[in-house]
Structure 1
Amino acid sequence: MDSLISAAARALAAGDALQALKRVALRDDPPALALRGIAMAQLGELARARELLKQAARGFGTQEATAQARCVVAEAEVALALRDFGDPPRALDAARATLEARGDRANALQARLIAARRWLLLGRLDEATALLAGIDPQNLPPLPAAVAALAQAELALRSLRMSDARAALDTAEAAAVAARVPALQTEAAQARALLEQPAARRVGGGETRPLRLHEVAELLDSGALVVDACRRGLRAGAAWLPLASRPILFTLLRTLAETWPGDAGRDALIERAFRLRAPDETHRARLRVEIGRLRALVSGHADIDATPRGFALRPAGGRAVAVLAPPVDGDQGELIALLADGAAWSTSALALALGASQRTVQRALAELEAAGRVRAIGQARSRRWLAPPLIGFTTILLLPAALPLA
């Protein structure tokens, strides 16, 4: 390694990207391209950084497999920051295997953490759990310890394991201070703030009460019959009945739960489920059909009785009934929750995270843009979507796979 490359590497390690660029800006050999890419990433020029790192990886080739793998890992981290999930994770997995085989444990760990954070963003909690298993931040240097603990904290929060989340946040905060990285300290503080912010609303009996994450976890563990409007399903103890693909049945169930222990009128049920304000006999007949389907679906957890005015929900075993409503109103809660992290997301990345088609996401984004809740930057394939940060509450329960489903 020549003196300019060494000096640029030392400057990058010290966080001085401009000094690093002064030494390698005019060079296009693979080591210089890699350092230029890392410097551009530190300066926030992520798209250019990604191009340079890809060029460096191609330049190293298979003859310098370790250096090539390091470039792949760095490029994957830039892609994560760009919220670009178009490339399959095979390249990152292969790079991690190469680094582990050649004894580069630090960069192999970095690759594992990047992969885990990617799966977390996509809501694939099982894959993230597998990657984070066996990583003990207490045995790591401060910088990777902080990153690992933050990933473990997010996984615990999204699984509503509150004691594990608090322990991971304690570790992350201590490691971030020891690493002397302000960005990590800020991220740890923001994650800690999620514990005290309202995450959902409990609706029922004409009242609405905000719930923090630990209160949501307590409600789900209480044995009550919980109609979960964050994940659109019914939670009864350990049982989970998803209803996201059956919106009419879910709306009927939610309306019945909100009026429990009383009954819901037929006209009110028709208005909410079918969005009609002047029902006739055909709509009432359709309501009876849908109630019959819902009654069969929730059998064993609750019954639905007909009353002179309408219908009433009767939970099995004398359970209480609760409605868990999202902290933000509207049909695009998951979309807003993903954009609330402040990063610029592409339409394809949002579609992948939500498990929806790009066209569906585009329509939802157009509605949100018309309402002034999101904005677009860039054009065509480079277009990205941003939303202002949401103040006063957390949307973590709206993120994909946020709640334990078993």
Structure 2
Amino acid sequence: MDSLITAAAYALTAGDPLGALNRVALRDDAPALALRGIAMAQLGDLDRAKALLRSAARAFGPKEAVARARCVVAEAEIALASRDLGWPAKALDTARATLEAHGDQVNAAYARYLEARRLLLIGCLDEAEHALAELDPAPFPPALRTAHELVVAGIAIRRLRTKTARAALARAEHAAHHAGIPALTAEVECASLVLNTPAARLMARGEERLLLLEEVEALLASKALVVDACRHVVRDAHTVVSLARRPVLFALARLLGEAWPGDVPRGTLIAQAFRTKFANESHRARLRVEVGRLRTELGTLADVLATKRGFKLVPHSAGEVVVLARPIEEKHAAVLALLDDGETWSSSALALALGASQRTVQRALDSLAAEGKVQSFGRGRARRWMTPPVPGFTTTLLLPGPLPGN
């Protein structure tokens, strides 16, 4: 490897893409194409970066398996940055195996971190943890240790383990400082904001207040009966009853939770749970049936008792009933939560992350675009969606992944 290639590689390692391009911008040999691709990725021109890396992979000879594998890893990183979550994970796994076989442990570990980050984005927390379990970050350079701690923090945040998340972010900040890469430091700072901004609203006894993630974690571990409108479950510290597939039952549970310790009139339950303005005898009969179903679902946690004017929720052992809701109520909140990271997403990637059909996601995006809440760039397969983040709020509780006990 000549001196210009070596100097460009060091510049990229230090987070100086312009310095790297100054050395290899006019060269078309395979190593230069690869370095130019990485530099363009750092500068944000992801389409150009992807094309350069593919050209580099083709230009490397059949005996340069390690170099081609590194190009595959770099292309996977670009796919992750552009939220192209459908890229073939098998190709990355093959490249990782090639790098491990040839002793390139650093790039092999980075390939594993990329896969863990992809799994984290689509809510596969167990798989992401398994991908990290085989790695010890201690011998790796600071930038790679930072990547490791960011994934650890991301998993901990999704699982509402705030102490673990804070410790991981502190280690990430320390490693990013030693790496000396401003973009990496900014990424750690952005991740740390999640722990210091409101994540949910608590509604209890007719009052509302915002909660941080630490407060949400403490609430779920308390003796309160929580009607969780972020995950559509009813739970206490030991038992979780999911009503995610029973929207009418959850609507009734939320109305009863918001009114606790009082009751809710039958007319209010019918109007809001059944979405009708006019109640007749058939609605009242349906309400009795749905309340009976809710009573069966919540049998281990609470009872639903009839009163003179309606129904009320009576917990078995919990001392209080509270409702945990999103900081901002929005029909397509899950879509906005993913777009809130500031990156550009394709509708197919959003569908993969949300576990929904692409057509359902596209209808949601069209609705949000009509309201001016999202905007798109490009056409056809190249079309991407994004939205500026909502200031002052974190949307962690809207993202894919279970709460503790699920």
TM-score by length of 2: 0.95
The amino acid that maps onto 1:196 is N
Q: Measure the CA separation in 2 of the matches of 1:5 and 1:143.
A: 21
The Cα offsets for residues 142-161 of structure 1, whole Å up to 9 and x where unpaired, read as: 21111211111111111111
What is the count of residue pairs matched by the alignment?
406
In structure 2, the residue matched to 1:261 is: 261
In structure 2, the residue matched to 1:147 is: 147
The Cα offsets for residues 125-149 of structure 1, whole Å up to 9 and x where unpaired, read as: 1111112225444543221111211
Superposed, which structure 2 residues align to 1:282-361 within 5 Å?
282-361=282-361
Q: Measure the CA separation in 2 of the matches of 1:259 and 1:214.
A: 25
The Cα offsets for residues 156-205 of structure 1, whole Å up to 9 and x where unpaired, read as: 11111111111111111111111111122222222222222111011122
Q: 1:235 to 1:77 in 2, by over 3 A?
A: same
Q: Measure the CA separation in 2 of the matches of 1:36 and 1:195.
A: 36
- Larger deviation, residues 268-277 vs 5-14: 5-14
Superposed, which structure 2 residues align to 1:185-204 within 5 Å?
185-204=185-204
In structure 2, the residue matched to 1:159 is: 159
Q: What SS does the corresponding residue of 2:187 show, helix, strand or coil?
A: helix
The amino acid that maps onto 1:120 is L
8 Å CA contact retained: 1:233, 1:244: yes
Q: 1:118 to 1:352 in 2, by over 3 A?
A: same
TM-score by length of 1: 0.95
Give the CA deviation at 1:287: 1.4
In structure 2, the residue matched to 1:130 is: 130
The amino acid that maps onto 1:125 is L
In structure 2, the residue matched to 1:91 is: 91
Q: What percentage of aligned pairs have identical amino acids?
A: 58
Q: What SS does the corresponding residue of 1:195 show, helix, strand or coil?
A: helix
Is 1:48–2:48 an aligned residue pair?
yes
In structure 2, the residue matched to 1:386 is: 386
The amino acid that maps onto 1:40 is M
The amino acid that maps onto 1:354 is L
Q: 1:192 to 1:5 in 2, by over 3 A?
A: closer
Q: Measure the CA separation in 1 of the matches of 2:13 and 2:163.
A: 35
The amino acid that maps onto 2:220 is L
Q: Measure the CA separation in 2 of the matches of 1:70 and 1:318.
A: 55
- Larger deviation, residues 184-193 vs 337-346: 184-193
The Cα offsets for residues 328-357 of structure 1, whole Å up to 9 and x where unpaired, read as: 112222111111110001100000000000
Q: 1:243 to 1:62 in 2, by over 3 A?
A: farther
Superposed, which structure 2 residues align to 1:270-285 within 5 Å?
270-285=270-285
In structure 1, the residue matched to 2:249 is: 249
The Cα offsets for residues 384-406 of structure 1, whole Å up to 9 and x where unpaired, read as: 11111121121111111152244
In structure 1, the residue matched to 2:396 is: 396
Q: 1:402 to 1:389 in 2, by over 3 A?
A: farther
Give the CA deviation at 1:2: 4.0
Q: 1:132 to 1:55 in 2, by over 3 A?
A: same
- Larger deviation, residues 309-318 vs 10-19: 10-19
Q: Measure the CA separation in 2 of the matches of 1:58 and 1:286.
A: 65
8 Å CA contact retained: 2:15, 2:181: no
8 Å CA contact retained: 1:337, 1:398: yes
Structure 1 vs Structure 2 CA RMSD: 1.8
Q: What SS does the corresponding residue of 2:129 show, helix, strand or coil?
A: helix
Q: Measure the CA separation in 1 of the matches of 2:178 and 2:130.
A: 27
Q: What SS does the corresponding residue of 2:376 show, helix, strand or coil?
A: strand
Q: What SS does the corresponding residue of 2:388 show, helix, strand or coil?
A: coil
Q: 1:78 to 1:167 in 2, by over 3 A?
A: same
- Larger deviation, residues 48-57 vs 330-339: 48-57
In structure 2, the residue matched to 1:206 is: 206
8 Å CA contact retained: 1:137, 1:146: no
8 Å CA contact retained: 1:396, 1:402: no
Give ranges in structure 1 of 5+ residues lacking alignment.
Answer: none
Q: Measure the CA separation in 1 of the matches of 2:265 and 2:332.
A: 28
In structure 1, the residue matched to 2:120 is: 120
